[in-house]
Amino acid sequence: MDLIIRNGRIVDGTGLPAYQGDLGIADGRIVHVGGRIAATAAREIDAAGRVVAPGFIDPHTHFDVQLLWDGEARPALEHGITTVVPGNCSLSLAPLKAEHRPRLVGMFQQIEEMPNAAFDGAFEWTWESFDGYLDALRAKLSVNVAPLAGHSVIRLWVMGDAATERAANAEELAAMQDLLRRCLEAGAIGLSTSFVDVDENLQPVPSRYAHFEELDALAAVLGEYGRMLQVVPEFYATDITLARVDQLAELSLAHQIPTTFSPLFDSAANPDNVSRVMARVEEQMARGARVWPQVQTRPIDISFTFDVASLLFAATPGWYRTMRLPREEKIAALRDPEQLEALIAEAEPGGDTGRFARVKVRAVTRAEDETLVGRSLGEIAAERGSTPARVMVELSLANDLDACFVATDLGHDDPARVGPLLAHPLVHIGASDGGAHIQSFATYGDTGYLFSRFVRDRHDLTLEQAVKKITADTARIWGIPQRGLLQPGFAADVTIFDAEAIARGDEVAAHDMPEGGMRYVRGAQGIDTVIVNGAVAWNAVDGYTTAATGQVVSA
């Protein structure tokens, strides 16, 4: 054997009770699970007091770009993730003609808040086809990738500028079907689409111009392969979401395909949303449809600076337009008394200062402002006889737009409501958004939050149930073969962790992007070792090992 893990508490992904035993690995596959192994191996790990589980699978990421300059998909491996699904929300880096690259970059920057540093000089575009993109990934992967093809880019390829003008004709539908087939043959695990996203010009993305006939035609192709359809519904409106659930159910039944929609999150502003949506999901699942809602584990926290347009300002159009201005024009607008007063009035209508009062100062560049770090804008404003919005502008200008703020617990923040939702047998744990919004919030920490808050603290799920949710269940829902279980013959993707210590790590700024760009990441707590296809890819002592044994995996 190449690797033996001894004395572990084996949680095999089936949901059955944990048991003590050894696990043997050879040639990237599991060859033994259970009783003590008498033989020795080239490498052995003593997992006494630790859980030995299948590698976790993250079904909703946007690592499409990052994987080209970071085959480890940092910090995914640190959190026990061994397989990621990029290409969500109608966006993928292929199939993509060269002339459409700027448009796709604009969409990634708008929708997923990807900075220029993630694209400029970070990699060389060497492909147009889906198989060409996967070839560009394979050389440096340390994590497994199960990629989706994006509906918006398929539309762009076939229709060009007309993709954002009109419905497709019969000839174009046939061409999109053929193109999707080529993507699936190359290794795409399914198709993603969106009903809500907008491009850099705040216009609907191409997928939103598709009529139902187009989605049905593409779902028919997915049915030929039994592949997944991922959808971003109008999550802000319950009635429309219910209609999308019904639509997905009809597509699932007609073409015998799995479907999934994300996000579904709990919100005090719409307290009946989750119960109504889940009732409809239960109804459609009872008919035999496969419509899996994706639910994230963690509250919604957003970090932001005035230097980058954040989705936090989407509900205040004046602010959002200002934040999208070129840097010097933005500073001039914020310094202009008339424009500033208009912004303050929009943020604090009628003197209501609640919008930004709880926002905290996260980091500053001026030494004289250091004492403000960790304090809320509401507190600072009260001391200064000002208002939170005005203080935020003043601090931003004083720190050359580099003052960083954080808005916490913007939703999905009530464990008493979220815990039972995560435990629901029809809920699919996902929606991490890893690789996206990397300058706004650290999207990782989902697995640690699941085990610390909802297993260890609240007992909404048992350890075995939680592991099953993010391993075997995800592999089954997405049709990822030979992963998600500790079983002889399965790929040796393994995560070893301390059940009493695993938690959502601290969020820190990391300057590890190309061109010195900065992003926010969460380190791991309680993860000991992560094994991908039989090789140690990360451990708590050595960190990343650049094992490069990741694979493109498909149904």
Q: Are strands 190-194 and 228-232 parallel, antiparallel or unpaired?
A: parallel
Three-state secondary-structure class, residue 182: helix
- Judge contact between 19 and 492, C-beta under 8 A: no
pLDDT in tens, 385-432: 999 999 999 999 999 998 988 887 777 889 999 999 999 999 999 867
Output the pLDDT for position 529. Answer: 98
Look-up of token digits 């035993």: 21
- Is residue 37, in this structure, part of any structural domain at all? no
CA distances from 468 to 47, 75, 425, 555 (A): 20, 22, 11, 19
- Is residue 328, in this structure, part of any structural domain at all? yes
Three-state secondary-structure class, residue 370: helix
Three-state secondary-structure class, residue 195: coil
d(CA 466, CA 50) in angstroms, rounded, equals 16
- Is residue 550, in this structure, part of any structural domain at all? no
Instruction: Report the run of H or E that residue 178 belongs to, with start and end.
Output: helix 170-186
d(CA 434, CA 66) in angstroms, rounded, equals 10
**Domain residues for 92?**
56-301+410-539
> Of 358, 388, 407, which marks where a domain is finished?
407
DSSP character for 112?
A: S
Same domain, 309 and 294: no
pLDDT in tens, 276-305: 999 999 999 999 999 999 999 988 777 788
Same domain, 246 and 332: no
Output the pLDDT for position 300. Answer: 77
Which tokens go with 355? 């919008």
- Is residue 554, in this structure, part of any structural domain at all? no
Same domain, 366 and 431: no
- Is residue 327, in this structure, part of any structural domain at all? yes
Same domain, 471 and 512: yes
Instruction: Report the run of H or E that residue 475 belongs to, with start and end.
Output: helix 472-478
Dihedral sign (CA 501, 505, 511, 515): positive
d(CA 555, CA 180) in angstroms, rounded, equals 15
Start-to-end Cα distance in the chain: 28
- Is residue 317, in this structure, part of any structural domain at all? yes
> Of 375, 407, 439, which marks where a domain is finished?
407
Secondary structure E strands in 146-286: 148-150, 190-194, 228-232, 259-261
Output the pLDDT for position 442. Answer: 46
Same domain, 422 and 385: no
Enumerate residues 6+ apart whose C-beta is below 8 A from 214: 167, 168, 173, 176
Query: Which residues of the chain register pLDDT less than 50?
Result: 440-442
Output the pLDDT for position 540. Answer: 94
- Judge contact between 439 and 306, C-beta under 8 A: no
Output the pLDDT for position 84. Answer: 96
- Judge contact between 503 and 449, C-beta under 8 A: yes
Which DSSP string corresponds to 280-299?
HHHHHHHTT--EEEEE-SS-
- Judge contact between 244 and 195, C-beta under 8 A: yes
Among the listed residues 375, 335, 332, 338, the one whose alpha carbon sits nearest the alpha carbon of residue 357: 375
The reply to whether omega before 293 is within 30° of 0 (cis) is no
Q: Based on C-alpha coordinates, what's the Rg of the chain?
A: 24
Same domain, 268 and 323: no
Same domain, 423 and 533: yes
- Is residue 545, in this structure, part of any structural domain at all? no
Same domain, 91 and 138: yes
Same domain, 332 and 220: no
> Of 407, 428, 448, which marks where a domain is finished?
407
- If one counts the domains in the chain, the total is 2
Same domain, 356 and 450: no
What residues pair up with 232 in beta bridges, in sequence order?
194
Same domain, 276 and 328: no
Same domain, 182 and 77: yes
- Is residue 511, in this structure, part of any structural domain at all? yes
Q: What is the CATH number of the domain that holds 460?
A: 3.20.20.140
The burial of 495, by beta-carbon neighbours within 10 Å (0-12 exposed, 13-18 middle, 19 or more buried), is given as buried
Which DSSP string corresponds to 38-97?
-S--SEEEE-TTSEEEEPEEE-SB-TTTHHHH-TTTTTTGGGTEEEE----TT--S-S--
